[in-house]
């Protein structure tokens, strides 16, 4: 119970002393010494207090100052606790560990609405990023948070119960593949064009590194990512070659600094140069792990100071203006092909704005990833192969559901692949959606891009009270810090929070 309801580590339970108990206070609490000998206060729930008091009433009389003692009246070690937990696992048929109980504690607190910073303090973590690994919002909580936020946002309804043609029927009809034999094959990348530009040893090292990175790329992005990978490295190493550097072992920090200076003088932005530096550092780190000699001065490679970028979200008025323009365009009665393209753009727009999807995820969306139940609560799709090969659930608002259904009615057949979004029987070409959104943006007098709509999705959810960890899961981010780059607290939200807090503080005088 101390692990499940108080989040104690198994070692903290073992080392808990009688002097650390304050069960007579309201609320009951413990003083726990955790990692790094850091003390923290842990509050004791009613169930945990009841279990602890039952044990203390039966605890053998002993001069041992620890709370949990064995039959020999000695401190119960972590190993002894693990053995007892193993017996429980065998009896109940459920696999669990002490650390899983601690994870469950954090997850349940998060689901109950407790701020992650408070959970961090109870768990005794120095950094909130560590806590976030424990308190990952579960799917039920994410869906509940998303539904609640949608109720506060104009045009984000999830509660419409109007009778509609089931999306399953449209998807089943539209997913017909005209030529199954033409299915997409794994992409092989030819490096011969780059091999002639680099020394053979360096080319071998780069290709080994690329093969490692490929495992984290979506199959559809292997070719484009590989071209970018080699273009970036060729640019850097051709510069170093001009300074007489033929091998990695000959590279020094002064050569890198000279490259930075030349790039900046040539008009490259700080962000572009920082990207090159990060790429070079990662490659050198890989070579070190492979026992390749890398000069110690290269440990001094640092990113340039970069001004914080302004958030790229759109205001509610701007995104609604874009929505109205797209809706008006979709209603135009023109040729069949024109209707197809307008309904396609409309469906993609809602998935980007109200689903927070990346453009690449929309382009590669397959019919096998769609799941729709009869209830609006079950309308969702799966991103199975997102960035860093990480999957997630995307919930469909009524507007997104309706736009997707209408597009499927005019979609037509596909030669191969099973993609949801196609043009002229083929998957969408790169740049098509961005180009169409720019045209819509000019009509609405707003700068629109796929990624700006993703920023807007996160920011709008944050500012109607959706918890950060749920937004993180909806976006598919590994780090909560990344999510907060996308989701910016608006000034009016800060003002409301401040006035609400001051009313409580000053109202108590």
CA distance 225 to 210: 10
Closest CA to 167 of 319, 354, 373: 373
Is 314 in contact with 452 (CB distance < 8 Å)? yes
Q: 370-371 and 39-43 as β-strands: parallel, antiparallel, unpaired?
A: unpaired
Which residue in the list 125, 210, 346, 477 is annotated as catalytic? 125
Provide the token pair at 345: 């753009």
Count of CA atoms in the C-beta half-sphere (13 A) of 389: 8
Neighbours of 469 (CB within 10 A): 25
Which residue in the list 86, 89, 99, 238 is annotated as catalytic? 99
DSSP per residue over 236-263, as a string? HHHHHHHTT--SGGG--HHHHHHHHHHH
- The strand order across the sheet containing 392-395 reads 370-371, 380-383, 392-395
Which residue in the list 66, 103, 134, 255 is annotated as catalytic? 134
With a CB cutoff of 8 Å and minimum separation 6, the contacts of 182 are 415, 416
Q: N- to C-terminal Cα distance for the chain?
A: 40
**SS3 track for 123-143:** HCCCCHHHHHHHCCCCHHHHH
Count of CA atoms in the C-beta half-sphere (13 A) of 457: 29
CA distance 436 to 428: 12
DSSP per residue over 379-418, as a string? -EEEESS-GGG--EEEEPPHHHHHHHHHHHHH---BSSS-
Identify the DSSP state of 420: S
Active site residue 134: yes
Neighbours of 266 (CB within 10 A): 7
Active site residue 426: no
Which residue in the list 5, 102, 263, 346 is annotated as catalytic? 102
- Radius of gyration for the alpha carbons in the chain, expressed in angstroms and rounded: 28
**3-state DSSP helix/strand/coil % of the chain, to nearest 5:** 60, 5, 35
Give SS3 for 366.
strand
Is 428 in contact with 361 (CB distance < 8 Å)? no
- The answer for 252, left when phi > 0, alpha when psi is -120 to 50, beta otherwise, is beta
Active site residue 392: no
Give SS3 for 168.
helix
Active site residue 99: yes
Active site residue 467: no
Which residue in the list 5, 9, 452, 454 is annotated as catalytic? 9
C-alpha distances in Å from residue 486, one per residue of 116, 153, 257, 358, 456: 18, 18, 32, 12, 8
Active site residue 473: no
Active-site residue set: 9, 35, 99, 102, 125, 134
């Amino acid at each position: 119970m101390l692990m499940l309801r108080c989040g104690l580590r198994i070692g903290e339970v073992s080392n808990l002393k009688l002097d650390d108990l304050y069960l007579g206070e309201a609320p009951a609490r413990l003083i726990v010494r955790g990692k790094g000998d850091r003390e923290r206060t842990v509050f004791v729930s009613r169930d945990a207090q009841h279990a602890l008091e039952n044990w203390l009433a039966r605890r053998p009389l002993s001069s041992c100052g620890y709370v949990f003692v064995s039959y020999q009246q000695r401190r119960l070690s972590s190993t002894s606790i693990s053995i007892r937990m193993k017996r429980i696992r065998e009896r109940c048929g459920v696999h669990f560990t002490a650390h899983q109980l601690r994870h469950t504690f954090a997850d349940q607190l998060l689901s109950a609405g407790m701020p992650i910073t408070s959970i961090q303090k109870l768990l005794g973590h120095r950094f909130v990023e560590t806590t976030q690994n424990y308190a990952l919002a579960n799917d039920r909580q994410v869906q509940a948070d998303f539904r609640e936020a949608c109720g506060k946002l104009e045009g984000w309804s999830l509660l419409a119960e109007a009778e509609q043609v089931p999306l399953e029927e449209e998807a089943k009809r539209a997913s017909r593949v005209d030529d199954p034999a033409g299915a997409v094959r794994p992409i092989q990348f030819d490096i011969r064009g780059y091999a002639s530009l680099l020394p053979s040893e360096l080319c071998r090292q780069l290709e080994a590194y690329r093969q490692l990175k490929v495992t984290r790329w979506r199959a559809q992005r292997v070719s484009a990512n590989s071209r970018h990978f080699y273009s970036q490295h060729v640019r850097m190493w051709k510069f170093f070659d001009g300074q007489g550097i033929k091998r990695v072992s000959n590279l020094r920090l002064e050569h890198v600094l000279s490259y930075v200076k030349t790039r900046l003088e040539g008009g490259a932005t700080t962000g572009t140069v920082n990207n090159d530096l990060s790429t070079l550092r990662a490659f050198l780190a890989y070579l070190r792990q492979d026992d390749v000699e890398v000069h110690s001065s290269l440990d001094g490679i640092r990113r340039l100071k970069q001004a914080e970028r302004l958030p790229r979200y759109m205001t509610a008025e701007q995104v609604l203006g874009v929505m109205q323009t797209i809706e008006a365009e979709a209603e135009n009665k023109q040729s069949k092909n024109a209707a197809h393209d307008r309904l396609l753009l409309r469906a993609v727009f809602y998935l980007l704005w109200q689903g927070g999807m990346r453009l690449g995820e929309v382009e590669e969306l397959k019919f096998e990833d769609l799941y729709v139940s009869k209830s609006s609560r079950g309308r969702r799709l799966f991103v199975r192969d997102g960035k860093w090969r990480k999957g997630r659930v995307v919930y469909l608002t009524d507007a997104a559901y309706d736009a997707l259904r209408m597009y499927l009615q005019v979609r037509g057949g596909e030669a191969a692949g099973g993609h949801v979004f196609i043009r002229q029987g083929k998957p969408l070409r790169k740049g098509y959606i961005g180009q169409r959104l720019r045209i819509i943006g000019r009509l609405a007098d707003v700068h629109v891009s796929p990624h700006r709509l993703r920023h807007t999705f996160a920011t709008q959810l944050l500012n109607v009270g959706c918890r950060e960890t749920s937004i993180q899961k909806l976006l598919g981010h590994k780090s909560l810090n990344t999510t907060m780059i996308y989701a910016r607290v608006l000034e009016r939200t800060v003002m409301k929070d401040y006035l609400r807090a001051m009313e409580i503080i000053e109202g108590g005088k």
